[in-house]
Amino acid sequence: MPAGTTVFDDEIPGVANLGPDLLRALRQAAADAAEGGVELLIDSGWRSPEYQSQLFRAAVFEYGSEAEAARWVATPETSAHVSGDAVDLARDAAAWLSVHGAEYGLCQIYGNEPWHYELRPEAIDHGCPPVYADPTHDPRMEQ
């Protein structure tokens, strides 16, 4: 994904292939963040299964085992990026969402990934759920 990508960049597959509800929430948040002078830039959004597989293999190489890699990178079968349900935000954007995200149903999911956000619509009324320490604690990753 090119540097400087925003949630409005429809011509970029990593943005265009995000789930419509997630994209809508991100765009609402981005419009409000912009009023506060913060641009909601994203580092990664939707990923193809092939690309996710590459990332996972690279992580296995880097961390030395599949078990350790799984703390940081999901497989294509389990990744919320592959299903279009997650975005990784640039630092300023993540900082803004850490304060305001729940108003839009946008929540940090993992304690070790402050940049990774997913849609949790119930957060609008109830706040974001507690974070998992890392993805290996997420029941969705057990496949």
Task: Provide the binding-site residues for Zn ion, judged by CB under 5 A.
Answer: 86, 88, 116
CB of 141 vs Zn ion, minimal distance in Å: 12
Q: How far is CA 123 from CA 20, 39, 69, 120, in A?
A: 18, 22, 29, 6
Tokens encoding 104: 């839009």
Using Cβ positions, the residue closest to Zn ion within the complex turns out to be: 116
Whether the Cβ atoms of residue 8 and residue 30 lie closer than 8 Å to each other: yes
Residue with smaller CB distance to Zn ion, 64 or 112: 112
H or E stretch covering 29: helix 20-35
The CB-of-138 to Zn ion minimum distance in angstroms stands at 12
In angstroms, give the least distance from the CB of 115 to Zn ion.
7
Distance CA 62, CA 85 (A): 26
Here the tokens at position 101 are 């995200």
Which residue, 36 or 46, has its beta carbon nearer to Zn ion?
46
Nearer Cβ to Zn ion (36/113): 113
Nearest-approach distance from CB 113 to Zn ion, in angstroms: 6
Contact 29, 101 (CB under 8 A): yes
Is 125 or 143 the residue whose CB approaches Zn ion more closely?
143
